[in-house]
Structure 1
Amino acid sequence: MTSLLWALSSTMFTVGTRRHSPQAVNRIRLVLALFLLFLTVTLFYGSPLPPGGRRVWFFLGLSGVVGLAIGDSFLFYSYRRIGPRVSMLLMSLVPVVTTTVAWVLMGESIRILKLMAIGITLLGVVMVVSERGDGDSPFRLSGVGIALGVGAMLGQAAGLLLAKVVLDEGYPTLPATYIRVMWGAATLWALGFFT
Protein backbone atom coordinates (compact mmCIF):
# COMPACT_ATOMS: atom_id res chain seq x y z
CA MET A 1 0.00 0.00 0.00
CA THR A 2 2.83 2.39 0.84
CA SER A 3 4.48 1.80 -2.55
CA LEU A 4 1.18 2.40 -4.33
CA LEU A 5 0.62 5.70 -2.52
CA TRP A 6 4.23 6.74 -3.10
CA ALA A 7 3.91 6.05 -6.85
CA LEU A 8 0.55 7.81 -7.02
CA SER A 9 1.79 10.90 -5.18
CA SER A 10 4.92 11.22 -7.33
CA THR A 11 2.79 10.96 -10.49
CA MET A 12 0.32 13.55 -9.21
CA PHE A 13 3.11 15.93 -8.20
CA THR A 14 4.67 15.49 -11.65
CA VAL A 15 1.39 16.50 -13.29
CA GLY A 16 1.17 19.46 -10.91
CA THR A 17 4.71 20.63 -11.63
CA ARG A 18 4.14 20.45 -15.39
CA ARG A 19 1.08 22.70 -15.06
CA HIS A 20 2.32 25.05 -12.32
CA SER A 21 5.60 26.18 -10.82
CA PRO A 22 7.31 23.43 -8.78
CA GLN A 23 7.78 26.00 -6.00
CA ALA A 24 4.05 26.77 -5.97
CA VAL A 25 3.20 23.06 -5.78
CA ASN A 26 5.66 22.56 -2.91
CA ARG A 27 4.31 25.61 -1.03
CA ILE A 28 0.71 24.46 -1.32
CA ARG A 29 1.64 20.90 -0.32
CA LEU A 30 3.42 22.09 2.82
CA VAL A 31 0.60 24.46 3.82
CA LEU A 32 -1.96 21.66 3.49
CA ALA A 33 0.29 19.32 5.48
CA LEU A 34 0.82 22.03 8.11
CA PHE A 35 -2.94 22.50 8.52
CA LEU A 36 -3.56 18.75 8.91
CA LEU A 37 -0.66 18.38 11.34
CA PHE A 38 -1.89 21.40 13.32
CA LEU A 39 -5.25 19.67 13.80
CA THR A 40 -3.67 16.31 14.64
CA VAL A 41 -1.08 17.64 17.10
CA THR A 42 -3.70 19.81 18.80
CA LEU A 43 -6.01 16.80 19.11
CA PHE A 44 -3.36 14.42 20.48
CA TYR A 45 -1.26 16.83 22.56
CA GLY A 46 -3.91 19.33 23.67
CA SER A 47 -1.95 22.28 22.28
CA PRO A 48 -1.11 23.56 18.79
CA LEU A 49 2.45 24.20 19.95
CA PRO A 50 4.59 21.04 20.00
CA PRO A 51 6.66 20.35 23.11
CA GLY A 52 10.42 20.77 23.11
CA GLY A 53 13.24 23.12 23.94
CA ARG A 54 15.53 25.16 21.72
CA ARG A 55 17.67 22.18 20.73
CA VAL A 56 14.63 20.23 19.49
CA TRP A 57 13.34 23.21 17.52
CA PHE A 58 16.80 23.97 16.10
CA PHE A 59 17.53 20.49 14.73
CA LEU A 60 13.98 19.79 13.54
CA GLY A 61 13.64 23.29 12.08
CA LEU A 62 16.92 22.95 10.21
CA SER A 63 15.80 19.50 9.08
CA GLY A 64 12.60 21.01 7.65
CA VAL A 65 14.46 23.75 5.83
CA VAL A 66 17.06 21.40 4.33
CA GLY A 67 14.81 18.41 3.63
CA LEU A 68 11.38 19.86 2.87
CA ALA A 69 12.08 23.36 1.56
CA ILE A 70 15.35 22.79 -0.31
CA GLY A 71 15.44 19.03 -0.98
CA ASP A 72 11.80 18.74 -2.03
CA SER A 73 12.11 21.84 -4.23
CA PHE A 74 14.89 20.05 -6.09
CA LEU A 75 12.65 16.96 -6.26
CA PHE A 76 9.72 18.83 -7.77
CA TYR A 77 11.97 20.46 -10.38
CA SER A 78 13.42 17.03 -11.20
CA TYR A 79 9.87 15.68 -11.69
CA ARG A 80 9.39 18.34 -14.34
CA ARG A 81 12.71 17.60 -16.08
CA ILE A 82 13.22 13.83 -15.88
CA GLY A 83 9.83 12.56 -14.71
CA PRO A 84 8.72 10.56 -11.70
CA ARG A 85 10.37 7.25 -12.62
CA VAL A 86 13.98 8.43 -12.59
CA SER A 87 13.37 11.03 -9.86
CA MET A 88 11.97 8.42 -7.48
CA LEU A 89 14.72 6.03 -8.46
CA LEU A 90 17.29 8.61 -7.35
CA MET A 91 15.27 9.13 -4.15
CA SER A 92 15.64 5.41 -3.46
CA LEU A 93 19.28 6.27 -2.70
CA VAL A 94 18.27 8.34 0.36
CA PRO A 95 18.56 5.34 2.73
CA VAL A 96 21.94 4.47 1.19
CA VAL A 97 23.32 7.97 1.75
CA THR A 98 21.73 8.30 5.20
CA THR A 99 23.12 4.94 6.34
CA THR A 100 26.58 5.69 4.96
CA VAL A 101 26.78 9.15 6.54
CA ALA A 102 25.44 7.83 9.87
CA TRP A 103 28.14 5.15 9.74
CA VAL A 104 30.95 7.59 8.93
CA LEU A 105 29.95 10.59 11.06
CA MET A 106 27.80 9.11 13.83
CA GLY A 107 29.63 5.86 14.42
CA GLU A 108 26.66 3.62 13.64
CA SER A 109 27.40 0.06 12.60
CA ILE A 110 26.49 -1.41 9.23
CA ARG A 111 25.76 -5.11 9.03
CA ILE A 112 26.62 -7.25 6.03
CA LEU A 113 22.94 -7.49 5.03
CA LYS A 114 22.71 -3.68 4.84
CA LEU A 115 25.88 -3.56 2.74
CA MET A 116 24.39 -6.10 0.34
CA ALA A 117 21.17 -4.07 0.13
CA ILE A 118 23.20 -0.93 -0.59
CA GLY A 119 25.08 -2.74 -3.37
CA ILE A 120 21.88 -4.05 -4.97
CA THR A 121 20.25 -0.61 -4.79
CA LEU A 122 23.25 1.07 -6.39
CA LEU A 123 23.39 -1.54 -9.14
CA GLY A 124 19.67 -1.08 -9.86
CA VAL A 125 19.98 2.69 -10.06
CA VAL A 126 22.97 2.49 -12.42
CA MET A 127 21.14 0.00 -14.66
CA VAL A 128 17.97 2.08 -14.94
CA VAL A 129 19.68 5.45 -15.38
CA SER A 130 22.02 4.08 -18.07
CA GLU A 131 19.27 2.44 -20.18
CA ARG A 132 17.87 4.22 -23.19
CA GLY A 133 14.63 6.08 -22.61
CA ASP A 134 11.28 5.38 -24.22
CA GLY A 135 10.88 7.45 -27.37
CA ASP A 136 7.26 8.28 -26.46
CA SER A 137 8.07 9.67 -23.02
CA PRO A 138 7.77 13.45 -22.55
CA PHE A 139 10.78 13.26 -20.21
CA ARG A 140 14.43 13.11 -21.26
CA LEU A 141 17.42 12.30 -19.12
CA SER A 142 19.54 15.40 -18.82
CA GLY A 143 22.47 16.48 -16.72
CA VAL A 144 20.38 19.22 -15.14
CA GLY A 145 17.54 16.81 -14.36
CA ILE A 146 19.89 14.26 -12.81
CA ALA A 147 21.62 17.04 -10.81
CA LEU A 148 18.22 18.17 -9.51
CA GLY A 149 17.39 14.58 -8.53
CA VAL A 150 20.73 14.18 -6.76
CA GLY A 151 20.15 17.51 -4.99
CA ALA A 152 16.76 16.23 -3.85
CA MET A 153 18.30 12.99 -2.61
CA LEU A 154 21.05 14.80 -0.71
CA GLY A 155 18.59 17.30 0.77
CA GLN A 156 16.30 14.53 1.96
CA ALA A 157 19.21 12.56 3.44
CA ALA A 158 20.60 15.63 5.24
CA GLY A 159 17.14 16.49 6.55
CA LEU A 160 16.67 12.98 7.91
CA LEU A 161 20.08 13.00 9.58
CA LEU A 162 19.32 16.33 11.27
CA ALA A 163 15.98 15.00 12.53
CA LYS A 164 17.69 11.79 13.67
CA VAL A 165 19.68 13.76 16.25
CA VAL A 166 16.46 14.53 18.14
CA LEU A 167 14.46 11.42 17.25
CA ASP A 168 17.20 9.14 18.60
CA GLU A 169 16.70 10.83 21.97
CA GLY A 170 13.08 9.67 22.02
CA TYR A 171 11.30 12.77 20.73
CA PRO A 172 7.87 11.74 19.28
CA THR A 173 7.60 11.57 15.49
CA LEU A 174 4.26 13.38 15.12
CA PRO A 175 5.34 16.68 16.68
CA ALA A 176 8.75 16.25 15.00
CA THR A 177 7.05 16.10 11.62
CA TYR A 178 4.91 19.11 12.54
CA ILE A 179 7.97 21.21 13.44
CA ARG A 180 9.77 20.13 10.25
CA VAL A 181 6.78 21.04 8.07
CA MET A 182 6.29 24.32 9.96
CA TRP A 183 9.86 25.44 9.23
CA GLY A 184 9.85 24.09 5.67
CA ALA A 185 6.60 25.93 4.84
CA ALA A 186 7.76 29.15 6.52
CA THR A 187 11.02 29.06 4.54
CA LEU A 188 9.31 28.51 1.18
CA TRP A 189 6.72 31.20 1.81
CA ALA A 190 9.37 33.67 3.01
CA LEU A 191 11.48 32.99 -0.09
CA GLY A 192 8.34 33.36 -2.22
CA PHE A 193 8.05 37.00 -1.20
CA PHE A 194 11.52 37.71 -2.58
CA THR A 195 11.22 35.86 -5.90
Structure 2
Amino acid sequence: MGYEWLALLAAFLWAFSSMISVTPARHLGTFAYSRWRMACVTLMLCSAATFMSGWSSLLHQDYAVMALSGLIGIFIGDTALFACFNRVGPRRAGLLFSCHAVFSAILGVWLFDESLYGWKLVGAILVFSGVLLAVFFGQNKRAHSWEKVNGNLWIAISLGLTAALCQSLGAIIAKPVMSSGSDPIAASAIRMATALTAHCVLFCCGFKIAKASSPMNWSILGQVALNGFLAMGVGMTLIMIALSRGDVGMVGLLSSTTPIMILPLMWLFTRQRPSLLSWVGAILAVAGTGMILKF
Protein backbone atom coordinates (compact mmCIF):
# COMPACT_ATOMS: atom_id res chain seq x y z
CA MET A 1 0.00 0.00 0.00
CA GLY A 2 1.37 3.42 -1.00
CA TYR A 3 2.00 6.09 1.63
CA GLU A 4 -0.85 8.20 0.19
CA TRP A 5 -3.37 5.50 1.07
CA LEU A 6 -1.89 5.13 4.54
CA ALA A 7 -2.37 8.86 5.20
CA LEU A 8 -5.94 8.75 3.90
CA LEU A 9 -6.70 5.69 6.02
CA ALA A 10 -5.37 7.51 9.09
CA ALA A 11 -7.66 10.47 8.31
CA PHE A 12 -10.61 8.09 7.98
CA LEU A 13 -9.80 6.42 11.31
CA TRP A 14 -9.67 9.82 13.02
CA ALA A 15 -13.02 10.72 11.50
CA PHE A 16 -14.57 7.38 12.47
CA SER A 17 -13.16 7.55 16.00
CA SER A 18 -14.81 10.95 16.47
CA MET A 19 -18.15 9.31 15.69
CA ILE A 20 -17.73 6.70 18.41
CA SER A 21 -16.59 9.39 20.86
CA VAL A 22 -19.97 11.08 21.04
CA THR A 23 -21.70 8.67 23.42
CA PRO A 24 -18.86 8.11 25.94
CA ALA A 25 -17.79 11.78 25.91
CA ARG A 26 -21.29 12.98 26.75
CA HIS A 27 -21.85 10.12 29.21
CA LEU A 28 -18.70 10.74 31.24
CA GLY A 29 -18.17 14.47 30.70
CA THR A 30 -15.13 16.21 29.24
CA PHE A 31 -12.51 15.64 31.94
CA ALA A 32 -13.54 12.10 32.91
CA TYR A 33 -13.69 11.02 29.27
CA SER A 34 -10.26 12.54 28.54
CA ARG A 35 -8.81 10.86 31.64
CA TRP A 36 -10.12 7.40 30.76
CA ARG A 37 -9.12 7.75 27.11
CA MET A 38 -5.61 8.84 28.06
CA ALA A 39 -5.33 5.94 30.50
CA CYS A 40 -6.19 3.45 27.75
CA VAL A 41 -3.85 5.05 25.20
CA THR A 42 -1.00 5.39 27.71
CA LEU A 43 -1.22 1.67 28.46
CA MET A 44 -1.17 0.85 24.73
CA LEU A 45 1.75 3.17 23.91
CA CYS A 46 3.87 2.16 26.91
CA SER A 47 3.34 -1.52 26.10
CA ALA A 48 4.27 -0.97 22.46
CA ALA A 49 7.35 1.11 23.35
CA THR A 50 8.54 -1.56 25.79
CA PHE A 51 7.93 -4.38 23.30
CA MET A 52 9.81 -2.51 20.55
CA SER A 53 12.61 -1.31 22.89
CA GLY A 54 11.88 2.31 22.03
CA TRP A 55 12.78 3.81 25.42
CA SER A 56 16.51 3.54 24.74
CA SER A 57 16.24 6.06 21.89
CA LEU A 58 15.34 8.88 24.30
CA LEU A 59 17.90 11.05 26.10
CA HIS A 60 17.35 12.24 29.67
CA GLN A 61 16.54 15.80 28.56
CA ASP A 62 14.01 14.49 26.05
CA TYR A 63 11.69 13.39 28.83
CA ALA A 64 11.20 16.96 30.12
CA VAL A 65 10.63 18.32 26.61
CA MET A 66 8.04 15.68 25.74
CA ALA A 67 6.36 16.10 29.13
CA LEU A 68 5.91 19.83 28.46
CA SER A 69 4.61 19.02 24.98
CA GLY A 70 2.12 16.59 26.53
CA LEU A 71 0.88 19.10 29.10
CA ILE A 72 0.16 21.71 26.44
CA GLY A 73 -0.77 19.60 23.43
CA ILE A 74 -2.70 16.78 25.10
CA PHE A 75 -3.73 17.76 28.63
CA ILE A 76 -4.93 21.23 27.65
CA GLY A 77 -5.43 20.66 23.92
CA ASP A 78 -7.30 17.36 23.96
CA THR A 79 -9.40 18.38 26.95
CA ALA A 80 -10.40 21.63 25.23
CA LEU A 81 -11.20 19.69 22.05
CA PHE A 82 -13.57 17.30 23.81
CA ALA A 83 -15.16 20.18 25.72
CA CYS A 84 -15.84 21.76 22.32
CA PHE A 85 -16.94 18.35 21.03
CA ASN A 86 -19.58 18.03 23.75
CA ARG A 87 -20.93 21.49 22.98
CA VAL A 88 -21.15 21.53 19.18
CA GLY A 89 -20.65 17.94 18.02
CA PRO A 90 -17.97 16.21 15.96
CA ARG A 91 -18.46 18.12 12.69
CA ARG A 92 -17.92 21.62 14.04
CA ALA A 93 -15.26 20.51 16.53
CA GLY A 94 -13.31 18.81 13.74
CA LEU A 95 -13.46 21.92 11.58
CA LEU A 96 -12.32 24.20 14.39
CA PHE A 97 -9.47 21.83 15.17
CA SER A 98 -8.33 22.02 11.53
CA CYS A 99 -7.15 25.57 12.29
CA HIS A 100 -4.03 24.05 13.86
CA ALA A 101 -2.37 24.27 10.43
CA VAL A 102 -2.92 28.03 10.42
CA PHE A 103 -1.62 28.40 13.97
CA SER A 104 1.47 26.35 13.07
CA ALA A 105 2.14 28.69 10.15
CA ILE A 106 1.70 31.78 12.36
CA LEU A 107 3.92 30.34 15.09
CA GLY A 108 6.52 29.53 12.43
CA VAL A 109 6.59 33.19 11.44
CA TRP A 110 6.91 34.28 15.05
CA LEU A 111 9.41 31.72 16.33
CA PHE A 112 11.43 30.66 13.29
CA ASP A 113 11.28 33.74 11.02
CA GLU A 114 9.31 31.78 8.44
CA SER A 115 7.11 33.60 5.92
CA LEU A 116 3.34 33.79 5.63
CA TYR A 117 2.52 35.34 2.29
CA GLY A 118 1.42 34.31 -1.20
CA TRP A 119 -0.33 30.94 -1.32
CA LYS A 120 0.25 30.30 2.40
CA LEU A 121 -1.66 33.46 3.27
CA VAL A 122 -4.43 32.50 0.83
CA GLY A 123 -4.56 29.07 2.47
CA ALA A 124 -4.90 30.59 5.95
CA ILE A 125 -7.75 32.79 4.78
CA LEU A 126 -9.47 29.80 3.16
CA VAL A 127 -9.21 27.73 6.34
CA PHE A 128 -10.76 30.41 8.52
CA SER A 129 -13.40 31.21 5.88
CA GLY A 130 -14.37 27.55 5.54
CA VAL A 131 -14.54 27.08 9.30
CA LEU A 132 -16.68 30.19 9.82
CA LEU A 133 -18.98 29.24 6.96
CA ALA A 134 -19.55 25.69 8.19
CA VAL A 135 -19.79 26.56 11.89
CA PHE A 136 -22.27 29.43 11.58
CA PHE A 137 -24.25 28.50 8.48
CA GLY A 138 -23.75 24.78 7.91
CA GLN A 139 -26.58 23.39 10.02
CA ASN A 140 -29.79 21.86 8.72
CA LYS A 141 -33.07 23.30 9.96
CA ARG A 142 -34.04 19.99 11.59
CA ALA A 143 -30.67 19.24 13.13
CA HIS A 144 -29.75 15.95 14.78
CA SER A 145 -28.76 16.10 18.47
CA TRP A 146 -25.10 15.82 17.43
CA GLU A 147 -25.47 19.08 15.52
CA LYS A 148 -27.24 21.10 18.20
CA VAL A 149 -25.33 23.73 20.15
CA ASN A 150 -25.21 23.06 23.90
CA GLY A 151 -24.48 26.31 25.71
CA ASN A 152 -22.78 29.38 24.31
CA LEU A 153 -21.49 28.95 20.75
CA TRP A 154 -18.65 31.42 21.25
CA ILE A 155 -17.33 29.46 24.23
CA ALA A 156 -17.33 26.33 22.06
CA ILE A 157 -15.47 28.19 19.30
CA SER A 158 -12.91 29.44 21.83
CA LEU A 159 -12.39 25.90 23.11
CA GLY A 160 -11.95 24.52 19.58
CA LEU A 161 -9.43 27.20 18.65
CA THR A 162 -7.62 26.68 21.97
CA ALA A 163 -7.33 22.98 21.14
CA ALA A 164 -5.92 23.82 17.71
CA LEU A 165 -3.41 26.31 19.16
CA CYS A 166 -2.26 23.85 21.86
CA GLN A 167 -1.85 21.13 19.23
CA SER A 168 0.44 23.44 17.25
CA LEU A 169 2.44 24.48 20.32
CA GLY A 170 2.79 20.87 21.47
CA ALA A 171 4.07 19.81 18.05
CA ILE A 172 6.58 22.68 17.90
CA ILE A 173 7.91 21.85 21.37
CA ALA A 174 8.27 18.16 20.42
CA LYS A 175 9.85 18.87 17.04
CA PRO A 176 13.55 18.90 18.18
CA VAL A 177 13.16 15.55 19.93
CA MET A 178 11.38 13.95 17.00
CA SER A 179 13.94 15.35 14.54
CA SER A 180 16.76 13.75 16.52
CA GLY A 181 15.56 10.25 15.60
CA SER A 182 13.81 9.36 18.86
CA ASP A 183 11.29 6.54 18.76
CA PRO A 184 7.89 8.18 18.06
CA ILE A 185 5.92 5.63 20.07
CA ALA A 186 8.05 6.08 23.19
CA ALA A 187 7.96 9.87 22.79
CA SER A 188 4.17 9.79 22.39
CA ALA A 189 3.90 7.56 25.46
CA ILE A 190 5.66 10.20 27.57
CA ARG A 191 3.36 12.93 26.27
CA MET A 192 0.27 10.85 26.98
CA ALA A 193 1.45 9.68 30.42
CA THR A 194 2.19 13.26 31.46
CA ALA A 195 -1.27 14.41 30.40
CA LEU A 196 -2.83 11.45 32.24
CA THR A 197 -0.87 12.33 35.39
CA ALA A 198 -2.15 15.90 35.27
CA HIS A 199 -5.73 14.65 34.91
CA CYS A 200 -5.27 12.26 37.82
CA VAL A 201 -3.93 15.09 40.00
CA LEU A 202 -7.06 17.12 39.25
CA PHE A 203 -9.25 14.14 40.13
CA CYS A 204 -7.39 13.30 43.34
CA CYS A 205 -7.54 16.93 44.47
CA GLY A 206 -11.31 16.69 44.35
CA PHE A 207 -12.03 19.21 41.61
CA LYS A 208 -15.68 18.95 40.65
CA ILE A 209 -15.00 19.28 36.91
CA ALA A 210 -12.81 16.17 37.03
CA LYS A 211 -15.63 13.93 38.27
CA ALA A 212 -17.63 11.82 35.85
CA SER A 213 -21.12 13.01 34.95
CA SER A 214 -22.32 9.38 34.95
CA PRO A 215 -20.63 6.21 36.23
CA MET A 216 -18.32 4.21 34.01
CA ASN A 217 -19.59 0.86 32.71
CA TRP A 218 -18.12 -1.86 30.51
CA SER A 219 -19.90 -0.67 27.38
CA ILE A 220 -18.59 2.89 27.73
CA LEU A 221 -15.10 1.64 28.62
CA GLY A 222 -15.07 -0.49 25.48
CA GLN A 223 -15.99 2.52 23.34
CA VAL A 224 -13.31 4.65 25.00
CA ALA A 225 -10.65 1.98 24.48
CA LEU A 226 -11.71 1.43 20.85
CA ASN A 227 -11.51 5.16 20.19
CA GLY A 228 -8.02 5.37 21.65
CA PHE A 229 -6.86 2.30 19.76
CA LEU A 230 -8.13 3.51 16.38
CA ALA A 231 -7.16 7.17 16.71
CA MET A 232 -3.84 6.96 18.54
CA GLY A 233 -2.78 3.35 18.21
CA VAL A 234 -3.51 2.60 14.55
CA GLY A 235 -4.01 6.11 13.13
CA MET A 236 -0.78 7.64 14.40
CA THR A 237 1.19 4.51 13.53
CA LEU A 238 -0.07 4.74 9.93
CA ILE A 239 1.03 8.39 9.81
CA MET A 240 4.50 7.49 11.07
CA ILE A 241 4.82 4.77 8.41
CA ALA A 242 3.56 7.17 5.72
CA LEU A 243 6.09 9.81 6.79
CA SER A 244 8.90 7.28 6.57
CA ARG A 245 7.92 6.40 2.99
CA GLY A 246 6.77 9.59 1.32
CA ASP A 247 6.63 13.36 1.07
CA VAL A 248 5.92 15.12 4.37
CA GLY A 249 3.74 17.81 2.77
CA MET A 250 1.60 15.28 0.90
CA VAL A 251 1.15 13.18 4.04
CA GLY A 252 0.08 16.28 5.94
CA LEU A 253 -2.35 17.27 3.21
CA LEU A 254 -3.98 13.84 2.88
CA SER A 255 -4.20 13.31 6.63
CA SER A 256 -5.92 16.69 7.00
CA THR A 257 -8.96 15.51 5.01
CA THR A 258 -10.66 14.36 8.24
CA PRO A 259 -13.22 17.27 8.22
CA ILE A 260 -14.47 16.10 4.81
CA MET A 261 -14.56 12.43 5.82
CA ILE A 262 -16.62 13.29 8.88
CA LEU A 263 -19.50 14.48 6.70
CA PRO A 264 -20.47 11.17 5.03
CA LEU A 265 -19.94 9.42 8.36
CA MET A 266 -22.27 11.91 10.01
CA TRP A 267 -24.79 11.16 7.26
CA LEU A 268 -24.43 7.42 7.95
CA PHE A 269 -24.66 7.67 11.73
CA THR A 270 -27.41 10.30 12.01
CA ARG A 271 -29.38 9.49 8.82
CA GLN A 272 -29.36 13.21 8.02
CA ARG A 273 -27.59 14.64 4.99
CA PRO A 274 -25.14 17.45 5.87
CA SER A 275 -26.04 20.80 4.37
CA LEU A 276 -24.35 22.12 1.25
CA LEU A 277 -22.56 24.80 3.26
CA SER A 278 -21.11 22.09 5.52
CA TRP A 279 -19.49 20.50 2.47
CA VAL A 280 -18.30 23.82 1.07
CA GLY A 281 -16.82 24.87 4.41
CA ALA A 282 -15.02 21.56 4.92
CA ILE A 283 -13.61 21.59 1.37
CA LEU A 284 -12.37 25.19 1.78
CA ALA A 285 -10.71 24.31 5.10
CA VAL A 286 -8.93 21.27 3.66
CA ALA A 287 -7.90 23.17 0.51
CA GLY A 288 -6.50 25.97 2.66
CA THR A 289 -4.61 23.48 4.82
CA GLY A 290 -3.13 21.98 1.65
CA MET A 291 -1.87 25.38 0.51
CA ILE A 292 -0.24 26.05 3.89
CA LEU A 293 1.48 22.67 3.89
CA LYS A 294 2.60 22.59 0.25
CA PHE A 295 3.87 26.13 -0.30
The question of a shared fold, defined as TM-score above 0.5 by the shorter chain, is answered with yes
Map 1:173-188; keep pairs closer than 5 Å. Answer: 173-188=184-199
1:42 aligns with 2:50: yes
Counterpart code for 1:35: L
Q: Which has the larger displacement, 68-77 or 132-141?
A: 132-141
The Cα offsets for residues 8-62 of structure 1, whole Å up to 9 and x where unpaired, read as: 111222221211121111111111111111111111117xx55433431111101
Map 1:94-173; keep pairs closer than 5 Å. Answer: 94-109=100-115, 112-131=118-137, 133-134=139-140, 135-138=142-145, 139-140=148-149, 142-173=153-184
State which of 29, 32, 35 in structure 2 corresponds to 1:27. Answer: 35
Alignment correspondent of 1:69 = 75
Does the aligned pair in 1 maintain the 2:25–2:86 contact within 8 Å?
A: yes
Give, in whole Å, the separation in 1 of the partners of 2:11 and 2:91: 13
Give, in whole Å, the separation in 1 of the partners of 2:115 and 2:190: 29
Alignment length (residue pairs)? 193
Instruction: Give the SS at the match of 1:45.
Output: coil
Does the aligned pair in 1 maintain the 2:76–2:163 contact within 8 Å?
A: yes
Measured on the aligned residues, the alpha-carbon RMSD in Å equals 2.1
Q: Which has the larger displacement, 61-70 or 108-117?
A: 108-117
Q: Which has the larger displacement, 50-59 or 88-97?
A: 50-59
Identical-pair percentage? 27
Alignment correspondent of 2:237 = none
Counterpart code for 2:77: G
Give, in whole Å, the separation in 1 of the partners of 2:129 and 2:187: 33
Does the aligned pair in 2 maintain the 1:22–1:77 contact within 8 Å?
A: yes
Q: Identify unmatched segments of 5+ residues in structure 1.
A: none
Give, in whole Å, the separation in 1 of the partners of 2:38 and 2:134: 30
Does the aligned pair in 2 maintain the 1:90–1:149 contact within 8 Å?
A: yes
1:2 aligns with 2:10: yes
Instruction: Give the SS at the match of 2:139.
Output: coil
Give, in whole Å, the separation in 2 of the partners of 1:105 and 1:67: 17
